[in-house]
Amino acid sequence: MKLAQKVTQKAKLNQTLRSWLPILQASSDELKDTLEPFIKDNPFAKIEIDKPHHSKNFYNEFYSNHVSDRIEQMSVYECSLYEKLYSQIDKPLFPTQKSKDIANAIIECINSEGYFEYNDEILAKFDAKDVEKIRKRFAYLEPIGVGAKDYKESFLFQLDELCDDDEIYTLAKDMINDFENLSKYTKQKNYENALKIIKKFKNPPAVEYLEDEAQVTPDIYVFTTDEGVEVKVNDEFYPEILIDTEGIDEKCEFVSSRIKEARDLIDALEMRKATLYKIGLMIIEYQYDYFLGGDIKPMKLKDIAGDLGRNPSTISRAIQNKFLSCSRGIVALKNFFAAAASEDISNAAIKDFVKNLIKQENHQKPLSDEAILACIEKDFGIKIVRRTITKYRKALNIGSSSQRKKIYAINS
């Protein structure tokens, strides 16, 4: 009897998991589209988006009206970079399921600026040659230049799209590949025309999406109160699965099977909420100081996966294209998972510091890696080697001081 009960429970869980994983991976704004295929042939279920006005609103209970208004304003949404990319993973560029799987994994490795950053945890199950072959096809996706490893490759992606003159194309390609020595091409016949093309390029390739970063819909809210830090899942506009069997014999096999499918979908939605809530709690536990004004601390997927009893790949799905809203703004969940630069300081904190330094640098005299290193050692009180700064700079797709000086000159 106990064995039969366990088998039945396992079968129900497996059925729920089949719908849970894509629902878990979907962003809040993709949920409706993700759910629809599961109930399109079910005459007894429908998706309801807008909840009744009298439904419970925890924001009004938790904060005053002006804070609730601020949350509502933060929830205005426009198409994100990742939604744009996922929508293009289809034929003819990605005709097989394998090519689609690799392309979707590559998207998980694209940072907010549109550049590709190799991630062993995400891409380990794919052959490196296959990954590179599929990544090259991103040259044909929008925004143009996305998926490139650095600004040079992004420029080459954009050049293919924006230049149809063979002579200008050849010169511009040479100039991009030899960007450090741009001045030696000034006497070339098509130099000015090639330079005009290069000036049209977007750097970084997803720059227009960076401007809209604050307009995404948060999946998790973190509130700092007198009693500490609390987490809430943003389920205010969650799709609801409504089951209607009025006047129908629920004992009929066809009806009962469809009702079961709808209830499995409801269970999958609840599992999504529960998983995001647990991830929110774990982020608070690991990153408590961040919500009180500190830096993001070292945190790995396997840390949280172990605590939650899940596979790291499941947690990776859960955090992709998901955002957390707190008093410090809206933060991508994946930003909380950083490798350690020291025991208490994360790579993410140092990278942010480097990025801000370069944003404020003198365009006539850009900071060298040695100068950046000195600033980091002074502000963070840690000792690291210069090549580490070079590695961080390259990971951020920031050129050397001489490269930046040339770019500043072109854009001036």
Domain ranges within the chain, ordered by starting residue: 2-51+216-336, 81-209, 347-411
- Please say whether the beta carbons of 259 and 245 come within 8 A: yes
Q: Which portions of the chain are predicted below pLDDT 70?
A: 1-20, 50-79, 211-216, 237, 293, 298, 338-346, 412
- The residue assigned the tokens 């929110």 is 280
What CATH class is the domain 347-411?
Answer: mainly alpha
Q: Could you read off the pLDDT of 66-99 as tens digits, one per residue?
A: 334 434 433 333 567 888 898 888 878 898 999 9
In angstroms, the CA 107 to CA 83 distance is: 10
- The residue assigned the tokens 């720059």 is 207
In angstroms, the CA 94 to CA 86 distance is: 12
- Please say whether the beta carbons of 297 and 347 come within 8 A: no
- Please say whether the beta carbons of 277 and 231 come within 8 A: yes
Distances (CA, A) of 29 to 26, 75, 235, 274, 341: 8, 11, 12, 18, 35
- Please say whether the beta carbons of 366 and 405 come within 8 A: yes
The SS3 call for residue 239 is: coil
- Residue 82, CB-side half-sphere exposure with 13 Å CA sphere: 24
In angstroms, the CA 411 to CA 408 distance is: 5
- Please say whether the beta carbons of 324 and 286 come within 8 A: no
- Please say whether the beta carbons of 243 and 259 come within 8 A: yes
Q: Could you read off the pLDDT of 172-185 as tens digits, one per residue?
A: 999 999 887 888 89
In angstroms, the CA 203 to CA 152 distance is: 10
In angstroms, the CA 274 to CA 76 distance is: 24
In angstroms, the CA 401 to CA 412 distance is: 16
**Among the listed residues 354, 350, 318, the one whose alpha carbon sits nearest the alpha carbon of residue 334:** 318
Q: What is the pTM of this model?
A: 0.47
Work out whether strand 228-233 and strand 329-332 pair parallel, antiparallel, or are unpaired.
unpaired
**Among the listed residues 115, 86, 114, the one whose alpha carbon sits nearest the alpha carbon of residue 101:** 86
Segment (H or E) for 215: none
pLDDT at 73: 39
pLDDT at 398: 87
pLDDT at 338: 56
Structure tokens at 68: 């609730």
